[in-house]
Every structure is written in structure tokens, then in C-alpha cells.
Amino acid sequence: MNYKNKAFSRYKIRLIFFVLIFLLLMISFNNVIAQNDFPTDDQVNAIAKELYCPVCENIPLDVCPTQACAQWRALIKEKMTAGWTKDEIKQYFVEQYGDRVLAQPPARGLNWLVYIMPPVVFVGGIVVVYLNLKKIKKSSEKVIQDSNINNDKYLKEIEEALNVLNKKEDLS
């Protein structure tokens, strides 16, 4: 019977040990969960930075001083507290106010031109500059060749004039 009591006491010790570990884990998980219940202003502003004020022109929601923007930031905080994701909150504002509230417009419709045109214009500009430099180089070579031909003609006339002058001086 003594053997059974020792086995039972070992079982009790192990059970108490596992219960304590379980309770400690639950306490630590509760602290982590409690931290997510109330988003900080930095977390709210991280989302608000990607949205523009629907009332003011070209002012991000995180720095807009109007009362309406303060209310929208509070709404973002409420949505985050309710467990909404960043994309869900942004989609909510798009549904309410349209694509113009997004800091980065979606690449659909004519908005894709915003993403395509800068590289196309840049490459096109490089091609135009290259072709113009090539054209200038060809035209300058042609001018040099033409000037050499003209210089030979003028040089011959000058030499003939000098020869005529020299003959006149020799005759005098």
C-alpha cells in the first residue's frame, strides 16, 4: 500500500506541475491578447498615412488638422479594436469616398498609366537624346567635310592671287 501512496503522490505532483504551467501560460497569453484590444495612435496613424482626407485636398489623414479627420482617425481606431485588418479598413474608406482617398491608387482603369508612363517617358527621352546626339555628330562631320572642300577652293584662289602679285612685282 505504501507503494500505491508513493505513485499517487507522484501523480499529484505531476498534475499540480502541469496545472501551474497551464495557468502561467494562460496568464501570459491574456497579457498578449489584452495588448491587442486597444490600438496605439502609432498603429492608427500607420493606416491613416495611407489614406487621404476626403474633404481637404492632398492632405494625408494622419496629419490633417480638421475635426472630420480626427473623427475618421477615431473610426479607424474603432475598426482596429473590432478586429478589422488594414486592408478591410482601407476598403471601407474606398467604398465610402472612392479611390481618391488612397495614397497609392489601385492599378486598374486609367490609373495603370500612373505606373506605366514614367518609365516609358524616361526611356523615350533617352532614345530622343541619343538620336539627336547622333544627328548632331553626323551634321558636324558633314560641315567639317564641306568646310575642307570650300577651304581648298579659297586657298587655290588666294594662291593664284599671290602668284599674280608676285609676277607683277617681278616685272617691275
Closest CA to 45 of 68, 67, 71, 77: 77
Closest CA to 91 of 79, 82, 73: 79
This prediction has a pTM of: 0.48
Band of pLDDT at residue 5, cut at 50, 70 and 90: low
Band of pLDDT at residue 137, cut at 50, 70 and 90: confident
pLDDT above 70 (res 15) = yes
pLDDT above 90 (res 125) = yes
Lookup: cell for 42? 502609432
DSSP assignments along 43-57, one per residue: HHHHHHTTBB-SSSS
Model pLDDT, residue 102 = 83
